[in-house]
Amino acid sequence: MSPNNQLSSRTTHNQYSVWGNRLFHFSAIAILVSSVVKLLRPPKPMAYLASMGYEGSTVFVIAAAEMAIAILCLVPATRRAGLLLISAFLGGAVASHIAIHRTFSGGPFITFMAYHPYTGALIPGALLVIAWAGDYLNQLAEAGSHGAKSGLARQGVKTGMDRIAVELKAAAR
């Protein structure tokens, strides 16, 4: 490979890393902001959560879980655990919106959600896709910067979940 091709390849992998980190951090910060809003307890979001059946100490538990997940995602050493937990949490948020959300329940609702009961699932679903896209771009950057002979590449690891499984097996040894 010529020096120009190597430089171009490194630049591409650096861009993957930069965009991957931006996307992943965006989703983690969005979860962090959501937790802070729940802890501040402004009336409109609290009324919306109450209309879905989440009130009192349940909202505090949700906010604490969101904050813990966001912190795990933002700390590089715990990013993989954060990705696993953000996937579970946002998957639960999507399921909650689909199962509970009623368009006209007599309670408050966000206007754009009034037209279709599944629209509320778009925000947590989009954040989940953004988090996984960021992780995917980071993996592309890592694979490119380490070459095909990296430790995980030798083991045939390709996806984020495969990486988590390999890391858990190594930690168990």
Residue 149 pLDDT more than 50?
Answer: no
Domain boundaries, the chain: 3-172
* Tens of pLDDT, residues 68-115: 999 999 999 999 999 999 999 999 988 887 777 655 555 544 444 545
Rounded Cα distance between 62 and 172, Å, is 30
Identify the residue with better confidence: 154 or 33.
33
Residue 66 pLDDT more than 90?
Answer: yes
Residue 58 pLDDT more than 90?
Answer: yes
pTM reported for the whole predicted model: 0.69
Give the chain's radius of gyration (CA, Å): 20
